[in-house]
């Protein structure tokens, strides 16, 4: 008798907590608030259909056991305002995130971030070191060069993938599946149907589709943060997937050396969204780092 073992899917995000909204710096944010303890801000990635809950829903309940988790939809995503951005993009997002912290009465916070969110947090930490206790950065690209290997597609792989996804016949469920399994997840068989459905439906949001169709630069001017990284004072953990489709592990090793208190952990058999693909392992490593910051 032949016995086949089907690999289980990764846990999907459960029911989303009640939505909350805050006006901050002239824009409106959508966020989720769960748990009690040290204020911890989660900033998600920039892929089509990404939200705070799509990126951190599987792992947030683990952190919420002893932390206050503020899971934010960054501007132009999810249920946050689809404002147009002018000027340097990371500086804009960092300033608005500080305004959000002020609106929520958060003086200092730990930041747990994926991709775009991590670049926002690094820019914020450089400009406002007194507002950041620690940083956890996964799959972010704050500088435009790599130490050993050239950046795939000259560092434009994410933007190119967005153009393909929204181009042609427009967003479809199968195009979303292809995008996630090629660029964000290492093991396509582990992708939960619920995650796929959540991302695809959010990508149909009229505001997000309008931004994707604009020929100018509604997301602001791209910034290289080389100078800013040297001003980051907070302890930082760069959490990386060994098989990251955007940036090989030599890149975060470079970043960890550019930040004064930089650390690096490389996780096997994951790509760009390790906090979703292996949430229990991700939480264990990050929780240990955060505890070490609290008790050096």
pLDDT tens figures, 130-141: 999 999 999 999
- Between CA 222 and CA 126 the distance in angstroms is 17
Mean pLDDT value across residues 255-266? 98
Q: What pLDDT is recorded for position 8?
A: 59
Q: What is the pLDDT of residues 87-133, one digit of tens each?
A: 999 999 999 999 999 999 999 999 999 999 999 999 999 999 999 99
| 3-class secondary-structure state, position 225 | coil
Confidence of residue 52 (pLDDT cuts 50, 70, 90): very high
Q: What pLDDT is recorded for position 82?
A: 97
Hey, which residues does 23 pair with through a beta bridge? Answer: 28
Return the HEC string of 235-249: CEEEEEECCCCCCCC
Give all domains of the chain, ordered by start, each with its CATH number. Answer: 20-294 (3.40.50.1820)
Mean pLDDT value across residues 27-55? 97
Ramachandran area for residue 78 (φ above 0: left; ψ -120 to 50: alpha; else beta): left
Give percent of the chain above pLDDT 70. 96
Mean pLDDT value across residues 21-44? 98
Q: What share of the chain is helix, strand, coil (3-state, %, to 5)?
A: 40, 20, 40
Q: Are the C-beta atoms of residues 261 and 234 closer than 8 Å to each other? A: yes
Residue 219 phi, psi (nearest 5): -95, 0
Total-model pTM: 0.95
Q: What pLDDT is recorded for position 4?
A: 44
């Amino acid at each position: 008798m032949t016995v086949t073992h089907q690999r289980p899917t990764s846990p999907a995000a459960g029911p989303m907590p009640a939505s909350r909204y805050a006006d901050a710096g002239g824009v409106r944010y959508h966020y989720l608030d769960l748990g009690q303890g040290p204020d911890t801000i989660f900033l998600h990635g920039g892929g089509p259909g990404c939200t705070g809950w799509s990126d951190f829903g599987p792992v947030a309940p683990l952190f919420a056991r002893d932390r206050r988790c503020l899971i934010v939809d960054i501007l132009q995503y999810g249920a946050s305002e689809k404002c147009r951005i002018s000027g340097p993009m990371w500086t804009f997002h960092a300033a608005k995130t500080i305004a959000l912290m002020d609106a929520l009465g958060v003086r200092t916070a730990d930041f747990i971030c994926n991709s775009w969110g991590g670049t926002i947090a690094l820019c914020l930490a450089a400009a406002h070191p007194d507002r950041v206790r620690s940083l956890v950065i996964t799959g972010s690209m704050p500088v435009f060069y790599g130490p050993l290997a050239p950046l795939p597609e000259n560092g434009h792989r994410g933007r190119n993938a967005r153009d393909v996804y929204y181009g042609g016949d427009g967003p479809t469920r199968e195009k979303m599946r292809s995008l996630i399994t090629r660029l964000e997840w290492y093991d396509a068989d582990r992708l939960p149907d619920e995650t796929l459905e959540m991302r695809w439906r959010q990508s149909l949001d009229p505001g997000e589709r309008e931004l994707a169709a604009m020929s100018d630069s509604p997301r602001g001017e791209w910034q290289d943060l080389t100078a800013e990284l040297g001003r980051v004072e907070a302890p930082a953990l760069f959490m990386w997937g060994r098989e990251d489709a955007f940036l090989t592990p030599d890149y975060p090793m470079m970043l960890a050396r550019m930040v004064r208190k930089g650390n690096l952990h490389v996780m096997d058999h994951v790509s760009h969204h390790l906090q979703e693909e292996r949430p229990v392992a991700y939480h264990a490593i990050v929780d240990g780092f955060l505890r070490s910051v609290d008790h050096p």
